[in-house]
Structures are given as structure tokens and as C-alpha cells.
Amino acid sequence: MYYVGETLVHRNAVVSGAESFPTSRNGIDCGLNDSLALEISITGTSTPTWTLTPGYWSPSLNAYCAGSELSVNAGASGGNLMVEVDTLGAVDMYITCKNTTGTSSTITIYARQIRKG
């Protein structure tokens, strides 16, 4: 059995540039959920590619801890895709976005909480 939460906009029309994590908790509330479904919309030309880095909030460190990077692209002219990211038991997650290739590229990320079992 799966519980699927409401789909919320997490990052909206992000343009190129490296990002860092916020210094305070400001991401997706993970609650008791196992993973997040990230619905990703990429625009641009010349096969826009983005590097996404999930940040997991650590109450003991009072900071986000970086997870494994994920490279995503949606074809020569952009498009839509979906990936699932494990919450690793974190209470909050924040996804940084860095554009690595493409022209006039933007990325929008919607997040949905998933609880399995």
C-alpha cells in the first residue's frame, strides 16, 4: 500500500548557476515518508542537462547534508520526467539545481511525498 501526498512546487523556473543549500530549514517537509517523487520540467535547447543534489536536514548539525548528485535531461528540446528520491529518514529535504549544458534552460521541480507499506 502506498500513501501519496499532495504535489507541491519545490523549485520554480530555476535558471543556470550553481546553488548552495539554505542555512535554515526551508525545503520539503518529509514527515514520516519513505521517499519523494520529483516531477521535473526542463525547458531549453541543445539538450539541457541539470545536476540535482538532494540535501537532507540534520537536526543534530542544524544544517543540510548533501546526498548523491543526480544528472537529469529531458531530450534535445527539454521535456518532463519523474524520479524517486529516498528521504533517508530526514525530516526535510532541499534540492539544489545546477545547469551543466544546454541553452536558455530552466527547471521546475514538483515534489510528492510517498509512504510505502
Q: Tell me: the pLDDT tens digits for 13-23?
A: 998 776 899 99
Contacts of 101 (CB under 8 A, 6+ apart): 46, 47, 48, 49, 73
- Domain total of the chain: 1
Whichever domain contains 49, its CATH number is: 2.60.120.20
Would the pLDDT of 101 be above 70?
A: yes
pTM, entire model: 0.90
The per-residue pLDDT for range 69-98, each reduced to its tens digit, is: 999 988 878 889 999 999 999 999 999 998
Would the pLDDT of 116 be above 90?
A: no
Pairwise pLDDT comparison (32 vs 110), residue with the higher score = 110
Give the per-residue pLDDT at 47: 87
Pairwise pLDDT comparison (59 vs 3), residue with the higher score = 59
> What one-character-per-residue DSSP string does 101-116 give?
EEEEEEEEEEEEEEEE
Give the per-residue pLDDT at 2: 67
> What one-character-per-residue DSSP string does 19-38 give?
----SS--SEE-TT-SEEEE
Pairwise pLDDT comparison (10 vs 101), residue with the higher score = 10
Domain that holds residue 81: 2-116
